[in-house]
Structure 1
Amino acid sequence: MELDCDVLVVGAGCGGVAAAQSAARLGQTVILTDSTDWIGGQLTAQAVPPDEHPWVEHTGVTATYRQMRDAVREAYRRNRPLTPAALAAAHLNPGEAWVSNLAAEPTVVHEVLRDMLQPWLSIGQVRLLTRHEPISAEVTFDRVDAVTFTDTREGATVRITARYVLDATEEGDLLPLTGCEHVLGAESTAETGELHALAGPADPHDQQAITWCVALELRPGEDHTIDRPKEYDFWKSYRAAHWPGPQLGWVTEEPETGKPLQRPLFGAPGERDLWTFRRIRYGQHVNPPVPDITLVNWPQIDYWLTPITGVSAPERAAGLERARQLTLSFVHWLQTEAPRPDGGAGYPMLRPNGDVLGTTDGLAAVPYIREARRIRAEFTVLEQHVGVEARPGATSAETFADSVGVGCYRIDLHPSTSGRGYLDIATYPFQVPLGALVPVRLENLVAAGKSLGVTHITNGCYRLHPVEWNVGEAAGALAAFSIKRGVPPRAVRSKPELCAEFQATLADLGVQMHWPDDIRVQTR
């Protein structure tokens, strides 16, 4: 089958959904693809409640991201028998999680995202193709002419031509297919000058851990013990050299200091325990009450034994299966052997719940992948642009004249496949430079997610939900603007009058490009 559009958006995660919306709002036809059944990426198929900065309720996100958050809350008010207190809460948090102001069931978020796209889907301006994996690309000189996909349901191939192609995939899948110059893994400090980059040579296989999340429902008095996973014995005995205890255990690592950290599963009211960490359903919000559900994205299920990006297909498949086995093993350990404060062992009342994830086994449809291939960009964001420690004497992040958005999160790198532990350091609230979306050579490929021009280090603060959304929204608008003005994206950046015009377009879309002066440092 052959299809054509103005803007092809490959990957329907946070960045892809936002890119499709902005390109459509600016009058372009869009084809949006994803390799899974769902749209939403981190928010849905990967089942990760949004990691956001402390000011999210009043500043620091785009208008459409705020619209999504408001719509999730409204969906709960409209469709659930909430208590009067929950109904009245201006900033309703469906899960009452302490790591996120909006911890919600992925099924609800997915419905909201579909509703946001529906006005354009209904008139055919946006066409959504799920279960489509990119397998090849056609490039003439410095332009991508077409991308071919496999329809994993039917086995057929689809060739799509487009004026602009946006990479919003979770791992930068288009970069090797198009021959786009890119980076994978960890750079060296000799290359980037970053304070916390590798002291030795760059290592493409030094990648952050992935996490295969699972939803657990609390059903006291019941036994929901799963079968003993085939790799349970391995994970029961495994302990990494950089980790303070067994992988299947309560002791983890404090990200900021590297010191041992132990949180209770169920703590006293107000205590930062594991159960409320990423709880996505707080049963007491509902009348009559229903069982709590928490989303397990805890350090115990970070898989760091092998990289899964940029390796052979068999190595990738083996790594993904081991990540699933780790999660299943942790669930089985929780249910059967986890030490309890009363001296007993195990919590068999914890039931894997796939209903809220759209799966049958309670595990997310796909793993949470923190790090992608990254374009060699017109401009690369370095630690010294955003990190507090790397900017001695500064009081803010680097200011970019070509800003196309804002973000804020600590540089939060999970343990890596090379055996390094956490790196978690403070940043200033930062901007998203247009130059980070534009490859050094290809004229019509734009980064619309985690594949933008950042480093292994700065990926740690640019990879989070609202920043990925902002990057995608700016990328979709950039493609539409470039089509309208008849100029390539690098010209939009290099010509001040065009850049200013594009920034005005973004402002009209509700994209914030500057932080208020009174907001300074991202802390825990």
Structure 2
Amino acid sequence: MSALETDVLVVGGGLGGVAATLAALEAGQRVVLVEQYAWLGGQLTSQAVPLDEHSWIEQFGATSRYRRLRDGIRDYYRDWYPLTAAARADATLNPGNGLVSRMCAEPRAGVAVIDAMLAPHRSARRLTLIQPAVAVSADVHHDRIRAVTVRGLDDDRETEIVARFVVDATELGDLLPLTGAEYVTGFEARADTGEPSAPEEAQPHNQQAFSWCFVVDHVEGDHTIDRPVDYDTWRAVQPDFWGAPMISLTGPDPRTLETLTRTFTPGASRADAVADQGKDPGDRELWTFRRILSRDNLLPGAIPSDLVLVNWPMIDYLGGTIVDVPADEVARHEAAARQQSLSMLYWLQTEAPRPDGGTGFPGLRLRGDVTQGPDGLAMAPYIRESRRIKARTTVTENDLSIALRGHGDPFTTPDSVGIGMYRIDLHPSSGGDNYLDIASVPFEIPLGILVPRRIENLLAGSKNVGTTHITNGAIRLHPVEWNIGEAAGALAAFCIDRAALPGAVHSTPALLREFQTSLTRDGVELHWPDVRGY
């Protein structure tokens, strides 16, 4: 076993982990970053999901570093793609013209920009990247993590990493059980959180669906994949609340729960539409919903077809959870989720209704070269829900729900380390629940949700913060995860410089103000402007 020593260890290279790494590095600390997959960027890259953002993202509501990421993705297309003059001149270029957000792009664009943002620190040897690798054990003594051991997935080589502070930025909160940190999973009981939408009894294995996404285009020819082994099984799946077989274009509307049949029209164009989920969910035509590269932005003949990400309700995997279950069960659920996604693709190629009255789109082509994952799908499953620390602060439905608050003014907190905004958007769950969609207010991110109650030098840096099952639905999206990670990395660096512990920063007004001032200086917005009228 080899050994390393560093100031800050970040386990998990998703958006939160990348942001934590950058913040700590730019504050002068040495960082070791450990990532399971071949690409950094998590839900943006290995999971292939374009940015989910709030309506004001182009004006405010994001950190400066997050804006560097967004600007870098736009510059990537300006530098390397044959854009039309109009697209090149568009300051708010949306490469895919997708309607889920104002920044829909290919996963490799995100990978390229993240790698570029980290490159100077790797050259200076302030950053050590261990990839692909996962954490396998932790040495904890008197409520303090002394070291974490990670194992390379290519060579089984183990490395013990001694660090002053550790950020868990994994997609599923993997360090929490390894370090003995207290945590929760799934639905909490109503008596524990006071949330009216929570069940009477806790349901730890009732968690949001994960999905295995994929990318398609549409060109001449027959590109039908082999019939999936479990196609007949998936073709028959129909949850009680779905209103139709899942493998179809019909399902519940997330906001109303009424049965909705969407359209799917390869080549459909809505180049003039502006993504704004506050006004239009954008999901009625699935070709344009999560389109990640649009021919309308490119010179004629540059590409034969748009590129479209399939991350739709029909591929939400409801068959079980991959948290706190044996490894063979994880593998079984992941394989089943891939079969579900491939079955959806095969149905689109062979049975989906066409506008001309026929069935099937054999010209749909699975673009595994865009995602580089198993079976031609994304590299990693799209994770919506993680283990969550029992934190010094927990954000609940009562904090965010407009209906419960009685107004739409932002949720504020004296220990704000950033801001975020998204509806509480819970997908169907492994316990058989339908969507839960709750209109929520803009919110400030409390420092207390990053800090465990007991472990002194561990910080949550992703979806594993002090939320409930319900409020996770508003706090799990890309810009909020980035802000959480950035705050965690900045806090680790601040604590090293001040010889302090995160709990002390949280509880000591002078230290808290000093830390918040440093965040503001680094471009982290701590408070919302007046958004009335926007």
- TM-score class, shorter-chain normalisation, is over 0.9
3-state SS of 1:355 partner: helix
- Relative to structure 1, is the Cα distance of residues 111 and 367 closer, same or farther in structure 2, using a 3 angstrom cutoff? same
Residue number in structure 2 paired with 1:162: 163
* CA apart distance, 1:172: 0.2
8 A contact 1:61–1:511 mirrored in 2 = yes
Q: Distance in 2 between matches of 1:268 and 1:117?
A: 36
For residues 189 and 371 of structure 1, the distance between their equivalents in structure 2, rounded to whole angstroms, comes to 19
CA contact (8 A) 1:387 1:397 kept: no
Query: Who is 1:448 aligned against?
Result: 461
1:437 and 2:450 aligned? yes
1:405 and 1:284 map into 2 onto residues whose CA distance is 36
Question: Hey, what's the Cα distance between the residues in 1 that align with 2:338 and 2:487?
Answer: 34
Matched letter for residue 362 of structure 1: G
Q: Which residue of 1 aligns with 2:240?
A: 241
Asked if the contact 1:11/1:167 (under 8 Å) is kept, the reply is yes
Q: Distance in 2 between matches of 1:276 and 1:147?
A: 44
**Which residues of 2 match residues 140-179 of structure 1 at below 5 A?**
140-179=141-180
Deviation at 1:163, TM superposition (A): 0.2
Could you tell me how far apart the structure 1 residues matched to 2:451 and 2:380 are?
28
User: Which of 461, 485, 492 does residue 479 from structure 1 map onto?
Assistant: 492
Question: Structure 2: which amino acid aligns with 1:367?
Answer: P
Cα distance change on mapping 1:395 and 1:239 into 2, 3 Å: closer
Give the corresponding residue for 1:418.
Answer: 431
Deviations, residues 254-296 of structure 1 (Å, cap 9, x unaligned): 1111001111102675684100000001012111331111000
Query: Aligned residue for 2:201?
Result: 201
Deviation at 1:362, TM superposition (A): 3.2
Equivalent residue, structure 1, for 2:359:
345
Q: Deviations over 1:298-320 (max 9, x none)?
A: 01101011111111111111111
Give the whole-Å Cα distance in 2 for the aligned partners of 1:153 and 1:233.
35
Query: 2:6–2:32: 8 Å Cα contact kept in structure 1?
Result: yes
Matched letter for residue 288 of structure 1: P
% identity of equivalent residues: 51
Task: Give the deviation of 1:398 after TM superposition.
Answer: 2.9
CA contact (8 A) 2:269 2:288 kept: no
Give the conservation status (yes or no) of the 8 Å contact 1:215–1:353: yes
1:411-459 deviation per Cα after TM superposition (whole angstroms, max 9, x unaligned): 0000000000000111110010000000000000000110110000000
Q: Does 1:52 align with 2:64?
A: no
* Structure 1 Cα separation of the partners of residues 424 and 254 of structure 2: 11
Q: Which amino acid aligns with 1:213?
A: C
Q: Is 1:277 matched with 2:289?
A: yes
Against the structure 1 CA distance between its residues 356 and 120, is the aligned structure 2 distance closer, same or farther, given a 3 Å change threshold?
same
Residue 328 of structure 2, aligned match among 296, 300, 314: 314
Partner AA of 2:225 in structure 1: I
The one-letter amino acid paired with 2:457 is: N
SS at structure 2 position matched to 1:233: helix
Which runs of structure 2 are paired with 1:249-288 in the superposition (5 Å)? 249-266=248-265, 269=270, 272-288=284-300
Q: Aligned pairs, how many?
A: 518
Asked whether 1:408 is paired with 2:409, we answer no
> Which amino acid is the alignment partner of residue 473 of structure 1?
E
Aligned-partner Cα distance in 2 for 1:476–1:368: 24
Contact kept? 1:217, 1:353, Cα under 8 Å: yes
Q: 1:82 touches 1:286 (CA, 8 Å); kept in 2?
A: yes
- In structure 2, which of residues 500, 507, 519 is the aligned counterpart of residue 494 of structure 1? 507
2:457 aligned with 1:458: no
Contact 1:38–1:45 (CA under 8 A) maintained in structure 2: yes
For residue 429 of structure 1, what is the amino acid of its counterpart?
A: P
Equivalent position of 1:511 in the other structure: 524
Give 1:386 deviation, angstroms: 1.1
Aligned residue for 2:217, secondary structure, equals strand
The residue that corresponds to 2:377 in the other structure is 363
The letter of the residue matching 2:63 is T
Distance 1:444 1:470, change over 3 A: same
Q: Name which of 400, 422, 433 aligns with 1:386.
A: 400
Query: 2:403 aligns to what SS in structure 1?
Result: coil
In structure 2, what residue type is equivalent to 1:183?
Answer: V
Q: Is the alpha carbon distance of 1:434 and 1:235 closer, same or farther for their aligned partners in structure 2, counting shifts above 3 Å?
A: same
Residue 380 (structure 1) shift: 0.5
Residue 387 of structure 1 deviates from its aligned partner by 1.1
State the secondary structure of the residue aligned to 1:379.
coil
2:17 alignment partner in structure 1: 16
Sort the Cα spacing of 1:520 and 1:15 in 2 relative to 1 into closer, same or farther, 3 A.
Answer: farther
Tell me if the contact between 1:439 and 1:446 (Cα under 8 Å) persists in the aligned partners. yes
Separation of aligned partners in 2, 1:464 and 1:520: 24
Return the offset for 1:519.
4.5
SS in 1 for 2:369: coil
| Secondary structure of 2:376's aligned partner | coil
Structure 2 residue aligned with 1:229: 228
Q: Does 1:335 align with 2:349?
A: yes
- What's the TM-score once normalised by structure 2's chain length? 0.95
Whole-angstrom distance in 2 between the partners of 1:315 and 1:445: 28
Q: Contact 1:385–1:397 at 8 Å: present in 2 too?
A: no
The separation in 1 between residues aligned to 2:125 and 2:248, in whole angstroms, is: 51
Cα pair distance change 1:203/1:360, threshold 3 Å: closer
User: Aligned partner of 2:44: which letter?
Assistant: L
Q: Work out whether residues 373 and 380 of structure 2, in 8 Å CA contact, stay in contact via their aligned partners in 1.
A: no
Contact conserved, 1:352 with 1:361, CA < 8 A, in 2?
no
Secondary structure at 2:483 match in 1: helix
Q: Deviations over 1:226-277 (max 9, x none)?
A: 0011110100111111211101111111111100111110267568410000
**Alpha-carbon contact 1:71-1:112 (below 8 Å) kept:** yes
Q: Please give the alpha-carbon distance, in whole angstroms, between the structure 1 residues aligned to 2:182 and 2:457.
A: 14
Shift of 1:395: 3.8
Instruction: Note the alpha carbon deviations across 1:166-214, whole angstroms, 9 max, x for none.
Output: 000000000000000000111011110012111x210110000001000
Q: 1:397 aligns with which of 401, 407, 410?
A: 410
Give the distance between the partners of 1:365 and 1:314, measured in 2 at CA.
Answer: 19
Contact 1:429 1:520 in 2 (8 A): no
Change (3 A) 1:197 1:346: same
Q: Quick check: 38-47 or 288-297, which moved more? A: 288-297
| Cα distance in structure 2, aligned partners of 1:43 and 1:347 | 27
Asked if the contact 2:451–2:502 (Cα under 8 Å) also holds between the matched residues in 1, the reply is yes
Alignment-mate amino acid for residue 312 of structure 2: W
| Partner Cα distance (1:238, 1:14) in 2 | 33
Amino acid at match of 1:256: R
Structure 1 unaligned residues grouped into runs of 5+: none
CA contact (8 A) 2:293 2:307 kept: yes
